[in-house]
Amino acid sequence: AEDQAKRQLAEQAERLSRASALQAENDRLRKLLGLLPSLAVPAVAAEILFEAPDPFSRRVVIDRGATQGIAPGSPVINEAGVLGQVTRVYPLSAEVTLLTDKDSAIPLLNARTQMRNAAAGRADGSGMELRFLAANADVKVGDLMTTSGLDGVYPPGLPVAKVSVVERRGDSSFAQVQLAPIAQPDSARHVLVLQPMDRHVAAKTEADVATAAEAASAAEIRAASRTAKKEERAAKAAEKAAAKASGAAP
């Protein structure tokens, strides 16, 4: 009886653990879907399949590819913030280079000071850092860094990282600033792949031009129709006048 009670307790604990995990996953999905109305660009939902088997890089593979409209350069985010950027696309999958990859770079904006800078992944893949920042620059631990939107790829205002370390040394003209990414790829499963801003703007411009051309064409057609009606009325009036004059002649 005691063994049976222990088994039942273990099963209940396992069910509770699964339920808690599902609840947490549902919460993340709701937050992710809640981002859609606020995004200024089209987005495609995707799921992270696995981490790329390369010990010298920080990349993951998602289950959406060229068939679903994924393009190289597309930003990838989760409910917390920016994860990285699509760097390789296959028909049914794509490879995403994370912000912590040593070859990754992203232009940022300090939400507190509005100062712009560029961040890159650290060589050991443990985080990010601001490079070539003056030693007297106004930056503090805890500062929120967001996308600046100046690269034509990432929409502005997306959370990226927080300043975790600031070191100023007298023998250097630059401060050493380390960043902790807000979106943690190790705990991410569901993501959104955004259309790059430059493509979105180009598509929007083309759509606006097409709409304007269509409106202009419609206006020309309406104007031509009005002119034709006026000419028709004038011709009828002239015809009536001619008929009246002909009837009045002796």
Q: Which two three-digit tokens encode residue 236?
A: 């009828």
Residue 176, exposed/middle/buried by CB under 10 A (0-12, 13-18, 19+)? middle
User: Is CATH 3.40.50.300 the right assignment for the domain spanning 41-195?
Assistant: no
Residue type present at position 154: Y
For the chain, give every domain's residue range: 1-38, 41-195, 196-250
Give tens-digit pLDDT for 64-95: 999 999 999 999 999 889 999 999 999 999 99
pLDDT-derived band at 41, boundaries 50, 70, 90: confident
Mean pLDDT of the chain: 81
For 65-106, the DSSP string reads -GGGT--TT-EEE-SSSEEEEEEEE-SS-EEEEETTSTT-EE
- How crowded is residue 153: how many other Cβ atoms within 10 Å of its Cβ? 19
Residue 4, pLDDT > 50, answer: yes
For 167-233, the DSSP string reads E--TT-SEEEEEEEESS-GGG--EEEEEPPHHHHHHHHHHHHHHHHHHHHHHHHHHHHHHHHHHHHH
pTM for this model (two decimals): 0.68
Give tens-digit pLDDT for 229-239: 776 776 666 66
- How crowded is residue 192: how many other Cβ atoms within 10 Å of its Cβ? 22
DSSP 33: H
DSSP 133: E
Q: Which two three-digit tokens encode residue 181?
A: 């990414």
> Residue 40 CA to chain centroid, in angstroms?
8
Calculate ∠ Cα 16-24-194, nearest 5°: 155
pLDDT of residue 26: 62
Q: Can you tell me the distance from the alpha carbon of 69 to that of 40, in angstroms, rounded to the nearest whole number?
A: 17
pLDDT of residue 142: 96
Q: Which two three-digit tokens encode residue 94?
A: 């794509």
Higher model confidence: residue 213 or residue 115? 115
Give tens-digit pLDDT for 198-229: 654 444 444 444 454 455 555 665 666 677 67
